[in-house]
Structure 1
Amino acid sequence: MSKSGQRNIKWVEGLRGVTSVLVISTHVARALDFALFWPADKKDAPPRLMQLPYLRIPYQGRIGVPIFAFLTGFVCAYKPLKLAYQQGNAPASLQSVARSAFRRPPRLMLPAMIATFISFVLSCFGAYTAANHCDSFWVRFDAPDYKPFRQNVRRLFKSLLTTWTSTDNAFDRHQWAMRPLLIGAFQVYVVLAATIGMRFRYRLLIHVMLIFYWLFNTAYLTETFGANLALGTLLAELAQHRPTQNFITAHQRILTFVIAPILLLIGGWVGSYPQEHEDWAEWSQTLHNHLMNPEPEGGDNLGSMLVPAGSNAHRRTSAFFIYCTAISIFISPAIQKLLSHRLLLWLGHHSFAVYLVHGTLLRTVAIWVVYGITGQPWEKAGKNEDGSEQVQEWIKPKSRSHKLLAIMIFTTLTYMAAWAWMKWVDTACARATQWLENKVFDTSEDDEGKAGLAEKGYSHANGNGSLTTRPSQDRTDKSQPPP
């Protein structure tokens, strides 16, 4: 631990890197082997290795976005809290919140818009034809269908808007999480601004109350975003608290080798709850009975403390796994050191780029390898003689080896594209955002810079750059303050 009482937080970047790998894993499973989301391929069939509890977590999804939400809460709160709590500079903390709040929208929106435009260009050239005709219903849902050019252009502008209004993006549906994450960041900023002058214990109380508020709220995605954001802010507070850090240092062996493993085992068991067909395996049916508390004879689910009635069981269980994982990392210096490995740091540095590019590459290059580039031969189903709809036939995969080859090519291209994205695209977006920030904010170290005072008419700059008071144009009584 450093002299200031803080620990190294490189693990945050490493956890981002792990999350980016998990996002790729779950989307590959959705596209090429959707049965991994079930406890078995069919009822009364033995499970495959990756369908067993714990081992299924990386492939069944639902954990990537909650981790990003937790990290958003932690990262957005860490620097302002450091300024206010350790350095005792509340004004600088509020200024940090203001600048972060300004930077957040363009740093998310500009790269997302570019990724959407690239997908639009590919759709104009028919790159998604194979995805539209393959037998993977999830890929067909994700891929933009064919439209004439003028309609496609209109769809582009609509998607650029609805990504941030209704989370819908026809060209890259993986961007659905961008709006909730942006809103979540501003929730953190509001909480920081409202509590920055409070004493430490009462700020902690606010964060804990927010966690329970979101957990008891059964509205859509509250457990995924609200509770994880608040947990991130709470742990950012404790990361600045010297007694907490001293306690972790003094008891790191029992925390690392006893408490953290217990939390991970409990969280992993609950987080293994399958997406569908929980009755196909004894372990998942038992878990379902404890979590959902169904009434006898097929009645309604009464719910439990962990999964209240009316909430989304799949997201609740995954979010609970993230709570346990986040706390385990926080209390274990050994896990933090493991997550600080340079490979994970590299993956974390490229995680946002991976999130933006992987969906397009999956629906194009990976699908081309498995199904062929042309998406032919294929015919749209017509109607039978009695007027009923014919069953639609979809293109089948070439072979299992083609799937394995597609995964290797897709993963390689994704990280190559992410590296190029960070080198050129993200760097350009960062420069544009910095230029805007420099234009909008006073760069003076004073509370009000020269430009700000001049705009308000109280002072102006002489030719030598010094400030003088601007005389009033319409007031002769100088004994009174300005209106």
Structure 2
Amino acid sequence: MSTTKQSQRNIKWVEGLRGITSALVISTHVARAWDFWLFWPSDKNGVAPRLLQLPFLRIPYQGRIGVPVFAFLTGFVCAYKPLRLAYQQGNVPGSLKSVARSAFRRPPRLVLPAVVATLFSFVLSCMGAYRAANHCDSFWVRFDAPDPVPFRENVDRLFTSLLTTWTNTENIYDRHQWAMRPLLAGAFQVYIVLAATIGMRFKYRILVHVLLMTYWWMNVENLTETFGAMLSLGTLLAELSQHRPTQTFITAHQKILTYVVAPILLLVGGYIGSYPHEHEDWTDWSLSLHNFLINPAGDDSRGSILVPKGANPGRRASAFFIQCLAVSVFLSHSLQKLLSHRILLWLGHHSFAVYLVHGTILRTVGMWIVYGISGEPWEPAGKNEDGSQQEQQWIIPKSRRHKMVGIVVFTAVTYLAAWAWMRWIDTACAKATMWLEKKVFDDEEDEGRNGFAEKGYATHHMNGNGTLLRPGENCRTDRSQPPP
């Protein structure tokens, strides 16, 4: 099998990785809602950790990996087709046109589904469906659930949320949409880099991607490792997947890459990625990891290469793990084949829908099962005799069994809703985007003619490739004899 065919076949792993990531997002938010202690290295200081609090095993539940993986995949997918057109098929104009069309499609393909998801949550809020979430003992769920307000104020809040989702990432009805704006901006980061480097030689394009990764990693502003570095890594690996010598080398050394290099990367990355959300001083392993990553000098004077001083330790640790994971999958055909399993492909096809609907379902159906639909009995805290504020008492779960049932039902309903979403809502959004694209862009078979007509040029004054004729040039392209 040629290197080109091998690369094209293995592109399916992208969808499989996306499917696993969407499932991990669900597991993370279940832990946040009903077992927040999993984010710590143990339940209490001096207490032995539970099984799922140990390194490696804690990764699916502690969060911080879902959105960065989506950012990496955005960089890879947005760059893959234009690079294939430019360097495998030698069609640079076609590559630039692919970038232009992809850049046009990206906003409606993100905005339209996000608007529909927000509208669903708004309707549920008007019906009082979040009462149990508003009164439960999970701070994270209460923070995510919209507070009950009068209908007119609810409508005003809806329009505000539809706007602020794309301005400051705030959406009262679905706070999980905070990642939509940076993912949209990140896609355009990829498009700009592609357009700027499309004419460069290979080694200089690679240098640009490496410099961008270095810049985003050394930048300690919020979320730079979550989006900027991940997007650049995705674009870099998309470049290397088109490079025949790189693919030939990987194919020739598959055994050592699959059974030695990839496992080492996963072990090292997984251990560092296990860095806890907080209370890292409660266990020896997490304290030693803290000293290695955040305080190597022992006096808090500087950070490390992986976690520069001023950066977010947890996100940096998780980002390093994701980078190791991405490189491992890229190097190992066996991992690519594993991620191409049809079940994972199905999960990946429904991943965006899962991301949009799971939060609303968790805060309604999941909370109803665990706490009761009414969210009662509950009373707002009053004042003590001395005028001080009383501590608010929240309703507690009915039982552990209710939690187990809630997890199962919530997961089943989420994927059922995601299937329905992809069949009807996403299809409608895709058709709307396609209609817009056809209205805005010239038809590929009649390229440029409508655009020239809008500028006042008659189409019969263009030659066969859609450009203006030179003075004295005849518009006929089927001339059997040369002009005199």
Normalised-by-shorter TM-score class: over 0.9
- Give the counterpart letter for 1:394 in structure 2: W
Q: Is contact 1:80-1:96 (8 Å) kept?
A: yes
Query: Where does residue 361 of structure 2 map in the other structure?
Result: 361
- Give the counterpart letter for 1:454 in structure 2: A
Q: Distance in 2 between matches of 1:262 and 1:294?
A: 23
- Give the counterpart letter for 2:26 in structure 1: I
Secondary structure of 2:225's match? helix
Of 107, 121, 126, the match for 2:109: 107
Q: Distance in 2 between matches of 1:144 and 1:2?
A: 54
* Paired-residue identity, %: 73
- TM-score, normalised to structure 1's length? 0.94
Unaligned runs of 5+ in 2: 473-484
Residues 301/177 of structure 1: CA separation in 2 closer, same or farther (3 Å cut): farther
Secondary structure of 1:4's match? helix
- Give the counterpart letter for 1:157 in structure 2: F
Q: Is contact 1:450-1:467 (8 Å) kept?
A: no
Unaligned runs of 5+ in 1: 472-477
Q: Distance in 2 between matches of 1:269 and 1:440?
A: 49
Q: Is contact 1:270-1:287 (8 Å) kept?
A: yes
Q: Is contact 1:459-1:469 (8 Å) kept?
A: no
Query: Where does residue 195 of structure 1 map in the other structure?
Result: 197
Q: Is contact 1:293-1:302 (8 Å) kept?
A: yes
Runs of 4+ in 1 over 4 A off after TM superposition: 466-471
Residues 3/322 of structure 1: CA separation in 2 closer, same or farther (3 Å cut): closer
- Give the counterpart letter for 1:313 in structure 2: P
Residues 443/424 of structure 1: CA separation in 2 closer, same or farther (3 Å cut): same
Query: Where does residue 385 of structure 2 map in the other structure?
Result: 385
Query: Where does residue 414 of structure 2 map in the other structure?
Result: 414
Map residues 46-195 of structure 1 onto 2, 5 A cutoff.
Answer: 46-195=48-197
- Give the counterpart letter for 2:313 in structure 1: A
Q: Distance in 2 between matches of 1:146 and 1:52?
A: 39
Structure 1 residues 383-415: Cα deviation after superposition (integer angstroms, max 9, x where no partner): 111111000000000000100000000000000
User: What's the CA shift for 1:467?
Assistant: 12
Q: Is contact 1:459-1:468 (8 Å) kept?
A: no
Residues 233/383 of structure 1: CA separation in 2 closer, same or farther (3 Å cut): same
User: What's the CA shift for 1:302?
Assistant: 1.8
Q: Distance in 2 between matches of 1:469 and 1:326?
A: 44
Q: Distance in 2 between matches of 1:177 and 1:444?
A: 34
Q: Distance in 2 between matches of 1:319 and 1:116?
A: 29
Residues 349/467 of structure 1: CA separation in 2 closer, same or farther (3 Å cut): closer
Q: Distance in 2 between matches of 1:94 and 1:6?
A: 25
Q: Distance in 1 between matches of 2:229 and 2:200?
A: 21
User: What's the CA shift for 1:12?
Assistant: 0.2
Map residues 294-305 of structure 1 onto 2, 5 A cutoff.
Answer: 296=298, 300=300, 302-305=302-305
Query: Where does residue 456 of structure 1 map in the other structure?
Result: 455
Of 231, 234, 240, the match for 2:233: 231
Q: Distance in 2 between matches of 1:120 and 1:469?
A: 50
Q: Is contact 2:62-2:276 (8 Å) kept?
A: yes
Query: Where does residue 405 of structure 1 map in the other structure?
Result: 405
Q: Distance in 2 between matches of 1:409 and 1:213?
A: 44
Match status 1:444 vs 2:444: yes
User: What's the CA shift for 1:76?
Assistant: 0.1
Q: Distance in 1 between matches of 2:334 and 2:221?
A: 37
- TM-score, normalised to structure 2's length? 0.94
Q: Is contact 2:296-2:304 (8 Å) kept?
A: no
User: What's the CA shift for 1:285?
Assistant: 0.3
Structure 1 residues 62-120: Cα deviation after superposition (integer angstroms, max 9, x where no partner): 00001000000000000000000111111100000000000000000000000000000
Q: Is contact 1:5-1:242 (8 Å) kept?
A: no
Structure 1 residues 10-57: Cα deviation after superposition (integer angstroms, max 9, x where no partner): 000000000000000000000010000000000011110000000000
